[in-house]
Amino acid sequence: MRSAGVIGWPVAHSRSPLIHRFWLAKLGIDGDYGRFPVHPDGLRDALRALPALGLAGVNVTVPHKVAALAHLDRVDPAAARVGAVNTVVVADGALVGHNTDVDGVIEALAGIDRSAGRTVVLGAGGAARAVVAAVHQGVRGRDAGDVRGRRGEVLVLNRDPTRGAAVLADLGTAGTTGPLDTPLPADTVLLVNATSLGMTGAPPLAIDLTPLPPTATVFDLVYAPLETPLLATARARGLRTVDGLAMLIGQAAAAFARFYGAAAPREHDAELRALLVAPTSTKPLV
């Protein structure tokens, strides 16, 4: 049996077990995926114990995504650029860190041509870093082929703009920054909400979409609720929208392949999405 899991503090809310077990069952793989509450003081011991426990790896969630880096043997380049890992794989007894949130963003943005204008990223936390890293390396979709090189300009808007500037500097991405209430530029081709605003229990995201051209796409990383006010407004204006489950499922699929050595059976996405938005699944998933 091949087993993996998720470590976090707390971790009871994580829906990653639902996703991975769903795929394991669909593929008939003799495997499991557990939930491991790990206090920050125990992070190093928990990670170093993975090989002895016979685990294939773990997903890493709040608050360990940055701290875990210090306890790994190797970190892949995308995760190193982002400065955070969300997946640790045991490879020949060594701990290797990855950031499949970047894969999730790349998948969610497949087929969206950003070359004609600006990509505006709201937020400067871990999720925003994954978005900027994905945009920086070019968008390569599962089915869309290689569209590397489609790099429009990036504008990062954050409550604390100095954090936005740090994201661009750390990732080596050319772009500009400003406060969150900066009016959206008229040449915006893609608007991404990577703040926690609009999430159940968080304040709403107050933003005026009027300046956006009709060709713009709006991507909200928030998935609880799935239909955020931002996406509802964008849709009412006839704009293309991408919801948070696209990234959530995409990042899980990239981790699943590393844990179990098999591609996630994505032909069942509709059934999985229905499970994830069921009333018992409204809490944050990762």
- The footprint of ligand NAP (CB under 6 A) covers 101, 104, 123-128, 158-160, 163, 180, 194-197, 199, 203, 221-223, 244, 247-248, 251, 284, 286
Kind plus residue range of the DSSP H or E element containing 120: strand 118-122
**Residues 136 and 150: beta-carbon distance below 8 Å:** no
Phi, psi of 149 (to 5 degrees): 100, -15
Catalytic residue among 15, 20, 64, 65: 65
**Least distance between ligand NAP and beta carbon 49 (Å):** 26
Mode of pairing for the β-strands spanning 145-146 and 140-141: antiparallel
Structure tokens at 70: 């210090």
Residue whose CB is less far from ligand NAP, 90 or 254: 254
Residue in the structure block whose two tokens are 């944050």: 284
**Residue 132 near residue 171 (C-beta atoms within 8 A):** yes
Tokens of 276: 């994830």
142 - beta bridge partners? none
Contact (Cβ atoms closer than 8 angstroms) between residue 218 and residue 191: yes
Closest residue to ligand NAP in the complex (CB): 125
> Which one, 31 or 104, has the nearer CB to ligand NAP?
104
Choice between 90 and 219, CB closer to ligand NAP: 219
Please report how close the Cβ of residue 173 comes to ligand NAP at its closest, in angstroms: 16
Question: Closest distance between ligand NAP and the C-beta of residue 249, in Å?
Answer: 8
Rounded distance, CA 225 to CA 248, Å?
13
| Residue 189: closest CA among 227, 240, 129, 229 | 240
Q: What minimum distance in Å lies between the beta carbon of 242 and ligand NAP?
A: 10
Of 160 and 227, which has the nearer Cβ to ligand NAP? 160
Grouping H, G, I as helix, E, B as strand and the rest as coil, residue 71 is helix
Backbone angles phi and psi of 39, in degrees to 5 = -70, 145
CB of 159 to ligand NAP, least distance (A): 3
65 has catalytic annotation: yes
Q: Which is nearer to ligand NAP, 90 or 137 (CB)?
A: 137
- Point out the residues that are catalytic: 65
